[in-house]
Structure 1
Amino acid sequence: MSITRRTALVTGAALLAAPSVHAQARRLDILSHRVHQNVLTTGAAGDLTGEWRRANNAEIAWTTADIGPLQDRLLREASLPQTDFGVGYLLNSRATQATANLLEPLDPLLSAEPIANYDDIAPGLREAMRFGGSTAAVPVRHATNGLFYNAAMLEERGVQPPRTLEEFVEAAKRLTYRPASSAPVVGLVMTASLAAYPVIFARAFGADFITPDMKVIPDPAAMIRAVAVIRDLFEAGALPRTYATTTNEDQVTWLQQGRAAFAILPFARHAQLNRPDGSRFPGKLQVMEFPVSASAPAGTRMAATVEFWSMAIPKTARDKGLAWSFIRAMSSPEVTLGSARNGNGPIRLSTYADPAFAAENAVAALEAGALSRARPPFPAFPEASRAEAIFVEEVQSAVLGRKAPDAAVADTIARVRPLMPATT
């Protein structure tokens, strides 16, 4: 077949034009837990990344891992001279100043291309992601603790939901009993292996373990009272004899089976706890904010303990513009609401006020109130794990009667202070 000069010119022009007509999609590599991918791509609200992918002609490559390997991989990638990962999910307990130094400072991006209604994101979460006055990551998912109770048991024993810590302690004691036709009931089931639980009691007195500005137990007297309350519950039998080995999942099981009247768990557990196929008391396991002490300073409000995830950009990421575009889009009010419908713990307070979401979430208003004041059990720093282990050990010693509460608090201060960052 002969090819004329005109045919050759037309064919060549078409070939040259082909790359622009069929431009290759950009690719955003994301390092996350599988749950982060799922709440953005599957569920009642569908795939929430579609509009962003079409607008940016971009594909998303998800790399998922369990929490420990995920966080280790993120730090390794961020330490490289250059990384393909544009977005990494960061757990608050791993968000130290050293980690922040490996991440892109976000304030210039927030100023140039703001996240819509950024102040709507819970303040305690936003502040925990600031280091040296600079924002290192944007919160995206949380689990905030509340006080669950078995309303059927409270009604049976003539007990009202407690309004103060003192009323709660009395209720837990009254609800430590043996029903006529079932197993013994303890007032409160609580794990001893995490600092978050004694911290909740401390905050009921207006105290804390380590404050956001890195002060270790600044109010020892209030902390002593908090530890003494837990010890009193144990001595009264209102905590299980297995307190020292109780796990988080034990709390769920004991509450569902009617072996405990109270438990401290994330608000998000409400639907699971009340499922008819898993609970002896469907619809009767209610939740409230943990009550503060009547002796707390005037105006004290409970600062619930919270754990949360944030989205960050490694400082050496190849395409920071595309990464920031993704974070902005996934942090919008619309996507936050959609991901909540897909099972995410929404970090925007306005999400809980959405009529449709509130209609599907019986504890929306309560959780929003708790989230508005929530902050992590303690700030992240290099020796935080050791500090938590020491605090847990000392509290257990006091609760089990091996050490007086005042001695446990004094020993915690003496052992933890040397672990604090040198600048504090």
Structure 2
Amino acid sequence: MRQRKAVALVVSIFSVVVLLLAVRSQIPLSAAAPKITLLTHPVLYAAMGKETGVIAEFKKRTGIEVEVVTGPTEQIQEKALAEFVAGSGRLDVVNLIDTMYTSEMVQFLEPLEERFKAVDAGYAKDDLIGSLVESLRLGGRQMGIPFRVGTAMLYYRADLFQQKGLQPPKTWEEFMAAAKALTMDTNRDGKIDVYGVSVRGKPGFEAVTDFTSYVYAHGGLVLNKEHTRCALTEPLAVAGAKTFVEVYRKGYASPDMPAHARDDLIGNLQQGRATMGIMFSPYWGFLQDAKATPFVGKFGWALVPTSPGVPPGRTLNSLWSFAIDRKSKNKDAAWELVKWLSNRENQFEMALKYNNGPVRTSVYENAEYGKKFPLAKDWLKAIGASLTLPAHKNWFRMQDIISTEVIAALRGSKTPEAAMQEACEQMARPLR
């Protein structure tokens, strides 16, 4: 009898332990912990803390294993579409950038609106920046959840502005005047050694990204709102193109601008070769790195200048989000990962520790975050006013066309007006 009681007690204790472990891990007793696959960009994975960051904590909390596959932007789109078309279900969660939400891609994604509506109060879905959530509502359905956003900001050498008696520019006329005044021969050898503006002109994504920042801030668009027609010949878009080209043609940017990429854009300010730059908001951290620049503490920030009637700070947003494969065999586990990486606590941790661009209002308004990033509330203002690149199945073809014409204008073989006209004529085919 005693032996039976002892056995019964052991069984009872074991059952309680199993139950507690199951509750803690949130995994059903009848099922083994699933394994899911996340396809993401290396920069985004770094913003998650890589192997020891928030994904490791997710596995510890839930028991769900996450295989992370990384690749550059173009490969993410190619790999995701290949797996989706094949119906393999191998990619459970995919990080997509704004231009990837084309009709071709969306047809393979799991609609998320019912899951999103059903999240508990602790997730605080209304804390997600509304314009970002809305941008992922396609055809009345929530097809993605925001993860990382950056906008364009004007970063500048505050000490040099002060020396010249200049204020941060709010209009494009003030911007061009400052660019001229801050293009200098500081050692008086007859050669310019400090340029007013740092800007990217490397053909492809780099040139088109910076060019679009200028176009949007002038009030223009690349495509019309329906994404059926090129809008680069509209007066406001042409005005943005002219400013972008004139910065280079008037000598306010380095002669090497047509070859300049991301590292040059940042490095020019870090090393004192330029005094202003319109750049991705998280790059502020590079200007505060004492190992990379001797000018820490001398940089300032401002919203990007805008044309009259254009909302202050309107420019280019870059948004990465999460989508779930419609053919995934682990949709519940995939959704848990999406919620985990977009919840309030982890968005704060990733922003503070790993320099992720947060998608929650509460992070920008958090005092600790504001202490590390005093420009946080201006970031939030710019994000709310700004636009993303257009999502179209042939965007990369159109990007190449725009790049070719912008470079032609920079080199002086075409006027900005003629370049925009040619770009629209060339884009008519991929827009069909």
Matched, 1:159 2:166: yes
Paired residue for 1:340, among 321, 343, 351? 351
Aligned counterparts of 1:57 and 1:229: Cα–Cα separation in 2: 54
SS at structure 1 position matched to 2:92:
strand
Paired residue for 1:356, among 368, 373, 382? 368
Q: Could you say which residue in structure 1 is the equivalent of 2:253?
A: 239
Contact 1:128 1:379 in 2 (8 A): no
Contact 1:137 1:312 in 2 (8 A): yes
1:186 counterpart letter in structure 2: Y
Paired residue for 1:172, among 179, 183, 189? 179
Post-superposition offset of 1:227 = 2.2
Post-superposition offset of 1:225 = 2.2
SS at structure 2 position matched to 1:419:
coil
Q: Could you say which residue in structure 2 is the equivalent of 1:274?
A: 288
Post-superposition offset of 1:18 = 12
2:293 counterpart letter in structure 1: S
Question: Residues 399, 29 of structure 1: CA spacing in aligned structure 2 closer, same or farther, 3 A cutoff?
Answer: closer
| Per-residue Cα deviation, 1:154-177 (whole angstroms, up to 9, x for no partner) | 222222211211101110011111
Aligned counterparts of 1:231 and 1:56: Cα–Cα separation in 2: 53
Aligned counterparts of 1:120 and 1:320: Cα–Cα separation in 2: 24
2:241 counterpart letter in structure 1: V
Question: Residues 37, 404 of structure 1: CA spacing in aligned structure 2 closer, same or farther, 3 A cutoff?
Answer: closer
Post-superposition offset of 1:280 = 2.8
Aligned counterparts of 1:64 and 1:153: Cα–Cα separation in 2: 41
Q: Could you say which residue in structure 2 is the equivalent of 1:406?
A: 417
| Per-residue Cα deviation, 1:37-70 (whole angstroms, up to 9, x for no partner) | 4444569xx8445665455443333333344434
1:280 counterpart letter in structure 2: P
Contact 1:220 1:409 in 2 (8 A): no
Paired residue for 1:190, among 199, 204, 207? 199
Contact 2:266 2:286 in 1 (8 A): no
Question: Residues 26, 388 of structure 1: CA spacing in aligned structure 2 closer, same or farther, 3 A cutoff?
Answer: closer
SS at structure 2 position matched to 1:418:
coil
Q: Could you say which residue in structure 1 is the equivalent of 2:216?
A: 203
SS at structure 2 position matched to 1:324:
helix
Aligned counterparts of 2:87 and 2:245: Cα–Cα separation in 1: 52
Post-superposition offset of 1:102 = 1.0
Aligned counterparts of 1:144 and 1:290: Cα–Cα separation in 2: 10
Q: Could you say which residue in structure 2 is the equivalent of 1:28?
A: 36
Structure 1 vs Structure 2 CA RMSD: 3.1
Aligned counterparts of 2:285 and 2:336: Cα–Cα separation in 1: 33
Post-superposition offset of 1:265 = 1.4
Matched, 1:137 2:138: no
| Per-residue Cα deviation, 1:260-287 (whole angstroms, up to 9, x for no partner) | 1111211211121232221131111222
Contact 1:207 1:219 in 2 (8 A): no
Paired residue for 1:63, among 59, 63, 69? 69
SS at structure 1 position matched to 2:429:
helix
Aligned counterparts of 1:397 and 1:50: Cα–Cα separation in 2: 48
Aligned residues: 408
Aligned counterparts of 1:413 and 1:66: Cα–Cα separation in 2: 28
Post-superposition offset of 1:337 = 1.0
Aligned counterparts of 2:426 and 2:88: Cα–Cα separation in 1: 39
Structure 1 residue ranges without an equivalent (≥5): 1-5
Mapping of residues 4-403 of structure 1, within 5 Å: 24-41=32-49, 47-49=53-55, 52-53=58-59, 56-113=62-119, 116-180=123-187, 184-192=193-201, 193=203, 194-214=207-227, 215-217=229-231, 220-293=234-307, 296=308, 298=309, 300-343=311-354, 344-376=356-388, 378-403=389-414
| Percent identity for Structure 1 against Structure 2 | 23
| Per-residue Cα deviation, 1:155-206 (whole angstroms, up to 9, x for no partner) | 2222221121110111001111100279611111211232222222222321
Question: Residues 345, 202 of structure 1: CA spacing in aligned structure 2 closer, same or farther, 3 A cutoff?
Answer: same
Post-superposition offset of 1:219 = 6.2
Post-superposition offset of 1:392 = 2.2
Aligned counterparts of 1:64 and 1:247: Cα–Cα separation in 2: 22
SS at structure 2 position matched to 1:229:
helix
Contact 2:155 2:279 in 1 (8 A): yes
| Per-residue Cα deviation, 1:17-41 (whole angstroms, up to 9, x for no partner) | 8997786433333222344444445
Post-superposition offset of 1:303 = 2.2
Aligned counterparts of 1:392 and 1:39: Cα–Cα separation in 2: 29
SS at structure 1 position matched to 2:428:
helix
Q: With structure 1 as the length reference, what TM-score do the two structures score?
A: 0.86
Q: Could you say which residue in structure 1 is the equivalent of 2:26?
A: none
Question: Residues 218, 124 of structure 1: CA spacing in aligned structure 2 closer, same or farther, 3 A cutoff?
Answer: farther
